[in-house]
A and B are shown apart, each in its own frame.
Chain A
C-alpha cells in the first residue's frame, strides 16, 4: 500500500512537471526513446516531429 502511494505521488509529480506550467514557444521538444515529441500549448502530446516533417515535405 505504501509503495502504491509512493508510486502515485511520483506519477502525479511527473504529470505536473511534463504537462503543466508555462510553455515557451519553440522550446518544448523532448525525446523519449528515439522519438522527438513536440508539445503544444494545450497539455497533450499531439504529434511526433518526424511525422510533422514528413507531412510538410509532401
Chain B
C-alpha cells in the first residue's frame, strides 16, 4: 500500500481519523491509503483526496502538498521531505490560525496564447508563454478595490495565473473569514461587469510555496 500525501500538519490529532498520519521529524504528513498499483489519475481517488483535504482544514491549518506525492512509509516520507521540514515547521507555527483565500479575476483583454508551432526552440516557447501570462492586467480601480476588500489579510500577493486570469491570494485570520466573504460580495455589487471568483478557505498553498517567495 502507499499513501497519497495531502499536507503537512503540526499535530497528529488534526489528521486522525480522517486520514493516515505519517510522522516526519517534528511534524506529520496526512495521507490517503491506496493500493500500490492504483493510478493517481483515478477520478474517484481525486475526489476522495479533495474531500479529505477540505475536512482536514476544518481541524486545523496545514501546508498543502501538491497532488502527486505518494510515500510508502515514514522512512520514505522523511527522505523525500527532509529538505523542507524545518521551513514547514516554522510556517505552521507562524500561521496556525490563518487560512488562504483567493480572488481569481478574468482579465479584460486576454493575451493571445502563443502557438507552439510558431517556435523552433522549446525555451523560446516557454518565454513567450510566460510573457503572455505576465502581460495580463486588470482594471486599476478594481485592483485597488480588491486589495481594500482584503485589507483584513496579514499577507497578500498578486499572481499571474495564465494569459486570461490574475489572482489575488491572501492569508487571513480564520475569525475574519466571514468579513472577507462579505467584502467580496460588496466588490461584486460595485463591479458587476468584472467576472471574478472569490473562494476559500484553503490551506497554506501560495504562502507555503517557495517558488512564490
Write the residues of chain A forming the contact surface with B, with a CB cutoff of 8 angstroms. 8-10, 12-14, 16-24, 27-33, 39, 41-44, 46-47, 55
- Would B211 and A23 count as touching, CB distance under 8 A? yes
B49 within 8 A of A: yes
Q: Mark B122-146, 1 if CB is under 8 A from A, else 0.
A: 1000100100000000000000000
In addition to A14-B46, A20-B202, A24-B84, 11 A-B residue pairs with Cβ atoms within 8 Å of each other are: A17-B49, A20-B206, A21-B67, A21-B209, A22-B8, A22-B66, A22-B84, A22-B209, A24-B80, A27-B68, A47-B122
**Interface residues, chain B, CB within 8 Å of chain A?**
7-8, 39-41, 46, 49-50, 53-54, 63-70, 80-81, 84, 88, 122, 126, 129, 161-162, 197, 199, 202-203, 205-206, 208-211
Instruction: Determine the residue in chain B with the shortest Cβ distance to A36.
Output: B41
Residues from chain B with a CB closer than 8 A to the CB of A33 are: 41
Residues of B within 8 Å of A13, CB to CB, are: 50, 53-54
Q: Is the CB of B66 within 8 A of A42?
A: no
Can you report 26 residue pairs joining A to B where beta carbons are below 8 Å apart?
Answer: A9-B199, A13-B50, A13-B54, A14-B50, A16-B205, A19-B66, A20-B64, A20-B202, A20-B205, A20-B209, A21-B63, A21-B203, A21-B209, A22-B8, A22-B63, A22-B64, A22-B88, A22-B210, A23-B209, A24-B80, A30-B41, A31-B41, A32-B41, A41-B211, A42-B211, A44-B162
A17-B50, A20-B202 known; A43 and B68 CB under 8 Å? no
Q: Is the interface of B mostly helix, strand, loop or mixed?
A: mixed
A28 vs B66: C-alpha distance in the bound complex, in angstroms? 8
Measured CB to CB, the nearest residue on chain A to B88 is: A22
* Docked pose: A27 CA to B191 CA in angstroms: 41
Contact in complex: A18, B41 (CB < 8 Å):
no
A12–B199 CB distance below 8 A: yes
Set A20, A28, A32, A44: member contacting B69, Cβ < 8 A: A28
A18 CA to B22 CA in the complex, in Å? 21
Closest 9 CB pairs of A and B: A21-B64, A20-B205, A28-B68, A21-B66, A27-B69, A31-B41, A41-B211, A30-B40, A21-B205
Question: Is B46 touching A17 in the complex (CB atoms < 8 A)?
Answer: yes
Which of A8, A22, A31, A44 is close to B39, meaning CB atoms less than 8 Å apart? A31
Q: Chain B residue with minimal CB distance to A23?
A: B66
Which residues in B have their C-beta under 8 angstroms from that of A18?
A: 66-67
CA distance A36 to B65 in the complex (A): 19
Q: Which of B54, B81, B199 contacts A24 (CB 8 A)?
A: B81
